Amino acid sequence: MLGDGAYPRYEGGVFRPPSEAGSLILQVMYGCSYNRCAFCGMYRDRRFRIRPFAEVKEDVENLDPAVKRSTARVFLADGDALALPARSMLCILGLLKAELPGLERVGAYANAHSLLRHTDEELREIHDHGLEMLYIGLESGDDETLARTGKGATSAQIIEACRKAKRAGFALSLTAILGLGGVERSLEHARATGRAFSAIDPDYIAMLSLMLVPGTPLAEAAEQGGFVVPGPTAILRELREIIAETDVTNAVFRTTHASNYLALEGTLPEDKEAMLAALDWILANGNVIPLRPEWLRRL
Ligand code: SF4
């Protein structure tokens, strides 16, 4: 349902990365063009469709004048803004530039297949018109884990899509999920994820820790004993292995998301040795550092 007369209007719950907390959220599409990842419950309540440009235009033009003047950042929701054709995206970016005098940055979630569907020229044009920051879910660099959790893309495809986005000039923020390989593929998942980060060389890396969302296929598999979520110590070991395998030029690395047991923040490669030393010490000394308790963890 569109809202109550206030602009912008929203349909369903709206999600955005933590770093877009201060951004104006503008829905340019509803849901996720894929919507089949076994661990994800974000958009299961809605059917994927692209929002008509006239409606988006109405939302932006009718913003409160004070909001127009003060908006520096916009996040284009929902789950995969690059599912829009390039021409539609350029119209939206042109509209934002015309209506928001203080606009500095536009960001969006992007899916590997949507990125791969656009040509290099289209991506460059979209970037040059103001969409600068893309948030991409790698989830895992381990193909077996990606296949088991129904991600719908291989690590090679995600790496190719990310490299294509980087060539077009986008800043990339990647997420991956600790624990996604289950107990069975815990370390394979971790090491392959670090190698994928190295192959992509993103600007930001944000780790989440798996939390089963009721009603998702992964939660059902866990209920039936077909998937076992690694415990906190195994999750910290995964984190250690990911950092050890990640070889990047300059990336902010964070585990500050509320799903994680331990909040770390640093820059790689600069802080790599210090982060590894801290994790090795914690792993060797048991429960000396209080981890975030289960009841405080959230997505
Ligand atoms: S994880 Fe991303 S691509 Fe997968 S269903 Fe959720 S929003 Fe869509």
Q: What are the average pLDDT values for consecutive 10-residue runs of the chain, which has 299 residues?
A: 72 91 96 93 92 97 96 97 96 98 97 96 98 98 97 97 98 98 98 98 98 96 96 96 98 95 96 96 82 82
**Structure confidence at residue 233 (pLDDT):** 94
In CATH terms, 18-287 corresponds, of 3.40.50.1820, 3.40.50.1970, 3.20.20.70, 2.60.40.420, to 3.20.20.70
Name the residue at shortest CA distance from atom 8 of ligand 1. Answer: 35
Q: What is the DSSP letter of 42?
A: T
**Cα-to-centroid distance, 40 and ligand 1 (Å):** 6
What pLDDT shows up at residue 77? Answer: 97
Q: What is the pLDDT of residue 5?
A: 60
Ordered by start, the domain boundaries in the chain are 18-287
pLDDT of residue 32: 93
| Confidence (pLDDT) at 84 | 96
Predicted pLDDT of residue 1? 46
pTM: 0.95
Inter-residue contact 183 to 234 (CB < 8 Å): yes
> What pLDDT does 180 receive?
98
Q: What is the pLDDT of residue 194?
A: 98
pLDDT for 3? 46
- Distance, in Å, from the CA atom of 150 to the CA atom of 274, rounded to the nearest integer, reads 35
Tell me how far the alpha carbon of residue 41 lies from the centroid of ligand 1, in angstroms.
Answer: 8
**Residue 275 β-bridge partners:** none
Tokens of 71: 């908006």
**8 A C-beta contact, residue 187 and residue 218:** no
Cα 70 to ligand 1 centre (Å): 31
pLDDT of residue 287: 66
pLDDT of residue 90: 98
